[in-house]
């Protein structure tokens, strides 16, 4: 009986380890708003994800520029949303956060005071610390004008 209990415990440990480490991150870009200049990133998984070393890239097809942001000490817990804000503003610090932070957002980061999104054809890429593409979002009016499926 004791041997059976040990074997069951061992199988459960193996199952837990294989599922916990083989599941991809469930971090998603849930919104790319090119008019209001923000990106919302959500942890839809069950575990906290350390975003330190992760990158958010904007590939701007209209200007041939790439904007990048490297995350520092962000622990995005299950269900939490991170807002990456950009755009020209005269508000600074907490005043900026109070003016632009959306309801329900756990983390608010002012990415840039420049307009990052050009409203024509942008792609937001989220890469983990190893450079693996975790999520992407396409947005822009050029998608419909040129009848393309994506900005690529």
Digit-coded pLDDT (tens) for 64-100: 667 889 999 899 999 999 999 998 887 888 898 999 9
Query: Please, is 12 exposed, middle or buried when counting C-beta atoms within 10 Å of its C-beta (0-12, 13-18, 19+)?
Result: exposed
**What does the angle CA 100 – CA 104 – CA 107 come to, to the nearest 5 degrees?**
65
Residue 135, pLDDT > 80, answer yes
Q: Where are the alpha helices (DSSP H) in 23-141?
A: 93-100
How far, in Å, CA of 27 to CA of 43, rounded?
A: 5
Residues 117-143 have a mean pLDDT of 83
Can you name the residues that pair with 85 across neighbouring β-strands? 38, 110
pLDDT score recorded for residue 121: 75
pLDDT score recorded for residue 21: 47
pTM for this prediction: 0.76
């Amino acid at each position: 009986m004791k041997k059976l209990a040990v074997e069951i415990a061992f199988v459960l440990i193996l199952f837990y380890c294989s599922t916990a480490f083989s599941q991809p991150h469930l971090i998603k870009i849930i919104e790319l708003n090119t008019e209001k200049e923000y990106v919302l990133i959500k942890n839809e998984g069950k575990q906290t994800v350390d975003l330190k070393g992760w990158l958010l890239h904007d590939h701007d097809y209209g200007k041939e520029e790439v904007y990048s942001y490297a995350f520092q000490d962000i622990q995005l817990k299950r269900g939490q949303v991170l807002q990456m804000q950009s755009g020209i503003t005269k508000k600074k610090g907490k005043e900026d956060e109070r003016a632009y932070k959306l309801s329900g957002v756990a983390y608010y980061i002012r990415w840039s005071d420049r307009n990052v999104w050009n409203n024509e054809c942008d792609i937001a890429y989220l890469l983990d610390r190893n450079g693996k593409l975790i999520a992407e979002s396409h947005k822009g009016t050029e998608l419909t004008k040129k009848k393309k499926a994506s900005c690529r």
